[in-house]
Homo-oligomer: A and B are copies of this chain.
Amino acid sequence: MAQVKQITKKSEDISGWYNDVIEQSKLVEHGPVRGTMIWRPKGFALWEAIQKNLNIKIKDLGAESVYFPLFIPESFLKKEKAHVKGFSPELAVVTHGGGEKLTEPIIVRPTSETIMYDAFSRWIESYNDLPLVINQWANVVRWEKRPYFFLRTTEFLWQEGHSAHETNEEAEVLVEKALNLYIDFYRQVLGIYGYAGRKSESEKFPGADSTFTYEMLMPDGKVVQGCTSHNLGQNFAKVFKVEFTGKTGKRSFVHQTSWGLSSRSIGAMILAHGDDNGLVLPPEIAPVQVVIIPILTKSSEKNKILSLAGKTFIKLEQANIRVKLDDSESSPGWKFNQYDLEGVPLRIEIGLSELNSERLKVVRRDTKDARDIHINVIEVEIENILREMQVNLLDKSRRFTEKNTRQADNYKEFNEIMNTTRGFIEAFWCESASCEAKIKEETKATTRCLPIDSIEASGQCIYCGKSAKNRWLFG
């Protein structure tokens, strides 16, 4: 019987804990090419659940599913200057194919704007063809020097949505809708609180007019970017000649957007909710929401206990709860540890006392709270507890984030925060690239976003003292 190995404590060494918990719960492991990742069944089940959940929301945006080639001619990327400059250090290049050296190197897609918009220039003729909204689920490659499971991998999985519109206003609406979709997903499904806002000029997507993001604070005080939604303006349209004939017969360039969420979201979820015992999966995303463990100490009642466990299983399954019955020969204690490690939201224990009382012991993964619930109402109560747990995870994440969001009114305060607690810092910044670069160099803090609900105010840039009209979020 394999033992549940000791994992590093989250509170003592979060990176060590993160690697331990991911490997020991068998989510993923390192691939043989540095920076790549092998998704084992338990890890890929999470991505399948995310795809299922997000795909419904994406189709509600009006997006149609497509698939574009993995291979992009190098010349395509070079067409938009900011774009190629942004991606150059991260590219994987195919130089040989079919046993021969290629005349033009081929790029393994780091994102698909260029190859898609070349197609848009053929697909779009008039306003009748607009808006054009598409989405693809794909693997993309960006060379990663310091790989870290889920959060920084050379190949990662994502969805990328792209759209073309008649006007900038319509593009702005879609950028906002996509952003809201992601905010909802992170909050309601993954249970992670964060701030949505606009990226600075230096942090925005290469080739975009503006980039919006959802930024989440992790327990180690570091910030993870959860998604992006870009207004690309007419930048790519001009380069790839994506034009349409309007109602008046006038030819114009389209206004474009792109937006994506990647497998990095799983990394954020693990960091945000896990504890010293392992993963804590939000019920909405957990492939198994409830595990039933029969306690078969008195063998004389074994069959009766198994029968009650089976009855419970059927009741929950009929209520569309994702339930697993583990009647394998491992000890109950081993199973408790194992399913705690794997982050299963609820555990139901059924032993002799449960058999006699008809009240089943239900233990919550996040709080460790135990309740006894009568078999007659088990499915209703389980649904309630799953909902409570989902809400609780978001609340906890919100409290943590708000507690660790601090205002710094001068550079001294700013530095103190970065040297001690870290977390989010709200500070006035003049929006000049040089102040931003120096703050980053001296404190390691980057501008995360200008929150969408920020109120225009006035103050002085914490770095240069010049007038600033917004408190930006650093982290």
Contacts and interface: CB of A to CB of B under 8 A. Distances in A.
Interface of A: 29, 31-33, 36-41, 44-45, 47-48, 64-73, 76, 88-99, 105-106, 108, 115, 118-119, 122-123, 134, 139, 141, 143-145, 154-155, 157
Contacts of A37: 69
Number of copies of this protein chain within its complex: 2
Contacts of A97: 91-93, 143, 154
Nearest to A99: B89
B68 A39 contact: yes
A33 B72 contact: yes
A218 B103 CA distance: 36
Given A70-B141, A155-B69, A106 B33 contact: yes
B145 A76 contact: no
Contacts of A72: 32-33
Contacts of A106: 33, 92
Decide if the interface of chain A is mainly helix, strand, loop or mixed.
mixed
A66 to B, nearest CB: 5
A302 to B, nearest CB: 22
A99 B73 CA distance: 16
A123 B40 CA distance: 10
A273 B406 CA distance: 66
Contacts of A76: 32
B90 A92 contact: no
Contacts of A38: 66-69, 115, 119
Given A33-B69, A68-B38, A71-B155, A95 B98 contact: no
B71 A31 contact: yes
Given A66-B39, A108-B108, A92 B99 contact: no
A169 B123 CA distance: 53
Given A65-B44, A115-B31, A139-B70, A90 B98 contact: yes
29 contacts: A29-B119, A31-B71, A36-B70, A36-B71, A38-B68, A38-B69, A39-B66, A39-B67, A40-B66, A41-B65, A41-B66, A44-B65, A48-B65, A70-B70, A70-B108, A71-B141, A91-B96, A91-B97, A91-B99, A92-B94, A92-B98, A93-B95, A93-B96, A93-B97, A94-B94, A94-B95, A97-B154, A99-B143, A139-B139
Contacts of A48: 65
A470 B68 CA distance: 45
A90 B98 CA distance: 5
B67 A157 contact: yes
A248 to B, nearest CB: 18
